Amino acid sequence: MKAVAEDEELDSLYSLSSLEQLSVSANDFSGQLSDKLRNSTQLEQFTSHSNSFSGALPSTLALCTKLQVLDLQNNTFSGAIDLDFTGLPNLYNLDLASNRFSSPLPESLSSCQKLRILSLAKNNLTVQIPKGYANLTSLTFLSFSNNSLVNLSGGSIPSQIGQMENLYYLDFSNNSLTGEIRKGLTELKSLMSANSCSSTLNITTGIPLFVKRNQSASGLQYNQASSFPPSILLSNNKLNGSIWPEIGRLRQLHVLDLSRNNITGTIPNSVSNITNLETLDLSYNDLHGSIPSSFNQLTFLSKFSVANNHLEGAIPTGGQFLSFPSSSFDGNPGLCGKMISPCITNNMGFRASSPPTAYKKFDWSSILGITISIGIGIALLLAILLLRISRRDAGVPIEDLDEEISRPPRLFDAFGPPTLLIFKNEECTDLTILDLLKSTNNFNQSNIIDCGGFGLVYKAD
């Protein structure tokens, strides 16, 4: 018997002892969930998502021992999840996402060995996840995203998760997880084998199937429009350490998001072995080295980002890389490629988008020195040319100019040409220049007797 209830009929519906499936989702129901559900002893599926139910879960839900699906997502339930899950051995889908549940989490949930879907995303969970949850080996879908979890089972991510051989969707994004990414995540068998990933969930709760290759192997086929692809989502935490090279074994993985952490080291070449990869986000980490050139073999890659790391070298060419925006590579000054800036190769073979700073300084100083030298040379040539022109206009032969330029400076050059001063003497009124030249033997040096205040003093014979 199936029923979609209205508010005034809820109490009467809860009293139907033969009721197997009850859906009251996407209505305006509010208040606390009635504990009269304990009367529905045959109830297998109860979905009440997208309402305004509040308060704590009634503990009497644990009396519905045949319950397989409990979907209460997108309400305002609060407090601890106070249910004794040991009385629900058949439960395989528990979706309590988008509520206000707080810690602690019930230890008894680890007894639900048939549990395949567990979603507690978008709540107020803060403490550790019980160690026993690692024993839920039937899980295919596990989400604790958008909480405030500090660590899981005393560590970052329990290595036991690798033992969940059916797990294909893992979401711990937007928490406060610390420590290294556990190597156990590279051992998820369902993400290694194509047969595991192509199996169906066959669940009637709205959890859709994921993508798989079509028969021609030339594309990816989505079985339902809103499907969940095989994913590992660890973004926006405080994880550190490096990316394990063994992650390349997860060939059926479609989405890998490790963005906004403190991950160091290089990007393993083995990531290119994940040939079904559609989304790869490694942005906002501390990665260094280069982007492996083999990434151009990821033909299904549609979303890619390594922004804000410390990567350098050439961005791979070919494949999907020409379709990615430049923002996918922002914050890596050492990267170069067609989508951002051309690569420059220096003498050491280093490829970068621009020359190193020291090289730039040397180049500019050389250009400046050459420019100044050329300017001075041109100025000197112009000065000599102007001097030649001025002497030529004055009637001085060019060869005399050359001689004057080449000969050393003389003593009198600094004071002008020599000067002869003649003082008038009333007793020698008829003295002439010729008389002076004759009496001093043309001002011969042998006639110099002294040097006075007005110049040399000659004796006259």
Question: Could you tell me the residue ranges of all domains in the chain?
Answer: 2-352, 357-407, 410-461
Closest alpha carbon to 252 in 199, 201, 327, 288: 199
C-beta separation of 33 from 52 below 8 A = no
Give the SS3 label for residue 345: strand
Q: Is the peptide bond before 104 cis (omega within 30 degrees of 0)?
A: yes
DSSP structural state of residue 149: -
Q: Which residue in this structure is represented by tokens 């030249």? A: 437
Burial label for 13, CB within 10 Å (0-12, 13-18, 19+), is buried
**CA–CA gap between residue 290 and residue 349 (Å, rounded):** 14
Query: Which runs of consecutive H residues, i.e. helices, occur in 110-227?
Result: 194-197
- DSSP H or E stretch at residue 98: none
Beta strands in 230-289 (DSSP E): 231-233, 238-240, 255-257, 279-281, 288-289
pLDDT at residue number 128: 78
pLDDT at residue number 445: 64
pTM of model > 0.75: no
Both tokens assigned to 373:
């030298």
Q: In DSSP terms, which residues pair with 312 in a beta bridge?
A: 334
**CA–CA gap between residue 121 and residue 123 (Å, rounded):** 6
**CA–CA gap between residue 252 and residue 255 (Å, rounded):** 10
pLDDT at residue number 5: 42
pLDDT at residue number 217: 47
Q: Provide the 10 A C-beta neighbour count for residue 130.
A: 17
pLDDT at residue number 454: 54
Residue 317 C-beta-side C-alpha neighbours within 13 Å = 7
> Mean pLDDT in each 10-residue stretch from start to end of the chain (461 residues)?
50 78 90 86 94 93 94 96 94 97 91 96 87 88 90 65 89 91 90 63 42 49 59 95 96 97 97 97 98 95 97 94 94 92 69 46 60 80 76 54 44 46 60 71 68 62 70
C-beta separation of 203 from 117 below 8 A = yes
Question: For 2-352, CATH number?
Answer: 3.80.10.10
